Amino acid sequence: MDLELKNINVKLGDKNIIQDISLAVAKGEFVGIIGPNGSGKSTLLRTIYRIIQPNSGIILLDGQNLKDVKLSESAKKMGVVGQFNSINFDFTVLDMVMMGRTPHKSLLGSDTPADYAIAMESIRKVGMEKHVNRSFSTLSGGEKQRIILARALTQQPQLLILDEPTNHLDIKYQLQILSIVKSLGIGVLAALHDLSLAAMYCHRLYVLKEGNVITSGVPNEILTPELVRDVYEIECDIQENPATGYLSITYYPTCRHA
Ligand SMILES: Nc1ncnc2c1ncn2[C@@H]1O[C@H](COP(=O)(O)OP(=O)(O)OP(=O)(O)O)[C@@H](O)[C@H]1O
């Protein structure tokens, strides 16, 4: 499943938040969106998963205008891990993950053993199998994040939209979650804050500043100290590790400590 955005504009209140953004995610491609706080990453993703209506522009899902696709149909195809996952009811971990099957069911459809098997496999993938009967609300922030990802995996989506999926996670789970997502081999569009991880996992990056894409391309080609200075207003050094090929980024403090 591929995703294409053509000239998307989003205005919230009296402010143009997203300005004429075009981007594409091909089948099997892991695409990152980076940019400073308030640059419009979440707004763009929320527009794609239909919480926000664009003021103009077209979103195509496998060539079909998203406006013409029923919400229930796009929910089958698009899995979402959003930024805030507060819930008002107390569910068990298993209940929470089983919700991922909902788009695939008819109104009164009941859960089948196959649904449970898919949910358990997703819980195992995120390393939470010991906690299936726990109350979701008692989990730590990172554990909740892993369960929300397991719910999205249970949906068996063809496209995943992730808004800072590694928020709250320790480094082991940051690497694990991004590796799991990449191994799915489906299209992924993820807003990421950590530039080293973005460079390590993403096939391509779009760089947002004040609601505009200022550049896009292969991480090792576009991530330069000049770009980081322009976008984040900080100095850094970027080297490619000759052994791994991964980028190593050293940030310089904005003021020296005594
Ligand atoms: N409903 C709204 N009304 C007015 N402005 C809004 C609204 N929602 C978001 N904004 C503004 O839009 C801008 C972009 O916000 P957004 O959350 O998309 O940024 P972001 O790049 O995801 O930021 P962060 O890295 O901090 O999560 C911000 O200036 C924010 O204050």
What is the Å distance from ligand 1's center to 75 Cα? 24
Fold of 3-251: Rossmann fold (3.40.50)
CB proximity list for 193: less than 8 A, separation 6 or greater: 34, 164
Residue 12 CB less than 6 A away from ligand 1: yes
pLDDT number for residue 254:
79
Strand partners, 64: 61
ipTM over cut 0.95: yes
150 phi/psi in degrees, rounded to 5: -60, -35
Task: Please tell me the residue having the least CA distance from ligand 1 atom 16.
Answer: 40
Task: Please tell me the residue having the least CA distance from ligand 1 atom 13.
Answer: 38
pLDDT digits (tens, 9 = 90+) for 162-220: 999 888 889 998 998 899 999 989 999 999 999 999 999 999 999 999 999 999 999 99
What does DSSP assign to residue 112?
A: P
Location of structure tokens 């993938």: 125
pLDDT at 103 over 90: no
What is the Å distance from ligand 1's center to 105 Cα? 34
- Residue of 67, 56, 52, 73 lying closest to 1 (CA atoms): 73
Tokens of 161: 């939209």
Strand partners, 238: 249
Residue 125 CB less than 6 A away from ligand 1: no
pTM: 0.92
Tokens of 239: 């080297």
Residue 84 CB less than 6 A away from ligand 1: no
Identify whether the C-beta of residue 1 lies closer than 8 Å to the C-beta of residue 186: yes
Coil, strand or helix at 103? helix
For β-strands 78-81 and 247-251, DSSP reports them as unpaired
pLDDT number for residue 76:
86
How far apart (Å, rounded) are the C-alpha atoms in residues 99 and 92?
11
How far apart (Å, rounded) are the C-alpha atoms in residues 76 and 4?
18
What is the Å distance from ligand 1's center to 12 Cα? 9
Domain boundaries, the chain: 3-251
